[in-house]
């Protein structure tokens, strides 16, 4: 009887896994801006709506918007210049740039659909407008690369396989662990792709992409000696990012 029940569970598990594999295959599409094949489960309009709906809460978590209009205008001007002089201008996304009041958290991030944020803690450490362009260009790369939408779809896929593993052979934990490692690796790849796009956007807008290396040094110093090992993080080590940024600079300068 136990053997029969195991076979039934196994068949159900296989059916669930097959469903999610087929679903993932149907969601594969080429990103028209990067040429990369991705798993995407939402439209560009849905990305925009998610970003707009989430933006107020994200701002609130970082102390709201910074009150200095001059600083905000600088962020707007640099961000819009990057968009207007790159392929980002031809996307459906609605780019908006926000300077957050947070004086402690050195960070910048983008929500799906074009909402881009930089904290005052990071903004205040930048030496010049080119470094600001490096930060914002990287975040525009995340939006254009559809990285959040891809992570959502891939997470759904691995959660489905973990469910199938739990039902079919008590292997949900193993599958979930494999999925987590895969998502971490993909996250690091997203960062490198955004760095590469950021270099491209900076050159198109007339900024010096070498200044992006200075941004990496700021992030490296902020992380300190006890930063999380690369294999446990969604972000590549700053040293590796610097090496890849230099490669991107040479690639785009040679192509121009």
Say how far apart CA 16 and CA 160 lie, in whole Å. 7
Backbone angles phi, psi at 234, to 5 degrees: -80, -10
> What does R_g of the chain's alpha carbons equal in angstroms?
21
Handedness of CA 133, 138, 139, 145 (dihedral sign): positive
Say how far apart CA 90 and CA 93 lie, in whole Å. 9
Count Cα neighbours of 179 within 13 Å in the Cβ-side half-sphere. 20
Q: In this predicted model, what pLDDT tens digit does every residue of 71-98 receive, in sequence order?
A: 999 999 999 999 999 999 999 999 999 9
Q: Measure the CA angle with vertex 231, ends 229 and 235; round to 5°.
A: 80
pLDDT at 180: 52
In this model, does residue 153 exceed pLDDT 50?
Answer: yes
Residues 6+ apart with CB under 8 A from 1: none
Q: Where do the structural domains in the chain lie, given as residue ranges?
A: 2-255
Residues 6+ apart with CB under 8 A from 131: 211, 212, 214, 215, 218
Region 17-29: what's the mean pLDDT?
60
SS3 track for the chain:
CHHHHHHHHHHHHHHHHHHHHHHHHHCEEECCCCCCEEECCCCHHHHHHHHHHHHHHHHHHCCCECCCHHHHHHHHHHHHHHHHCCHHHHCCCCCEEEEECCCCCCCEEECCCCEEEEEHHHHCCCCCHHHHHHHHHHHHHHHHCCHHHHHHHHHHHHHHHHHHHHHHHCCHHHHHHHHHHHHHHHHHHHHHHHHHHHHHHHHHHCCCCCHHHHHHHHHHHHHCCCCCCHHHCCCCCHHHHHHHHHHHHHHHHHHC
In this model, does residue 133 exceed pLDDT 90?
Answer: yes
pLDDT at 165: 53
Q: In this predicted model, what pLDDT tens digit does every residue of 160-215 receive, in sequence order?
A: 545 555 544 454 443 444 435 543 444 688 899 999 999 999 999 999 999 999 99
Q: In this predicted model, what pLDDT tens digit does every residue of 206-239 receive, in sequence order?
A: 999 999 999 999 988 887 665 555 444 556 777 8
Lowest mean pLDDT segment, chosen from 7-11, 86-90, 122-126: 7-11
pLDDT at 10: 57
- The verdict on pTM exceeding 0.85 is no
């Amino acid at each position: 009887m136990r053997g029969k029940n195991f076979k039934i569970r196994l068949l159900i598990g296989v059916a669930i896994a097959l469903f999610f594999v087929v679903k993932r295959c149907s969601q594969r599409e080429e990103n028209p801006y990067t040429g990369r094949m991705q798993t995407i489960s939402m439209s560009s309009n849905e990305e925009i709506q998610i970003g707009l709906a989430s933006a107020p809460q994200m701002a609130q978590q970082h102390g709201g918007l910074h009150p200095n209009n001059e600083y905000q205008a600088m962020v707007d001007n640099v961000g819009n210049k990057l968009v207007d002089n790159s392929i980002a201008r031809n996307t459906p996304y609605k780019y908006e740039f926000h300077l957050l009041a947070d004086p402690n958290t050195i960070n910048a991030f983008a929500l799906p659909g074009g909402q881009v944020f930089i904290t005052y803690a990071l903004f205040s450490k930048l030496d010049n407008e080119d470094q600001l362009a490096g930060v914002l260009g990287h975040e525009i790369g995340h939006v254009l690369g559809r990285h959040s939408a891809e992570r959502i779809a891939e997470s759904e896929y691995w959660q489905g396989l973990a469910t199938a593993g739990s039902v079919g052979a008590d292997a949900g934990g193993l599958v979930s662990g494999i999925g987590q490692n895969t998502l971490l690796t993909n996250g690091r790849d997203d960062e490198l792709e955004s760095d590469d796009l950021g270099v491209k956007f900076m050159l198109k807008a007339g900024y010096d992409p070498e200044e992006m290396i200075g941004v990496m040094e700021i992030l490296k110093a902020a992380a300190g000696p006890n930063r999380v090992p690369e294999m446990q993080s969604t972000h590549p080590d700053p040293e590796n990012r610097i090496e890849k940024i230099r490669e991107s600079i040479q690639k785009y300068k040679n192509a121009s």
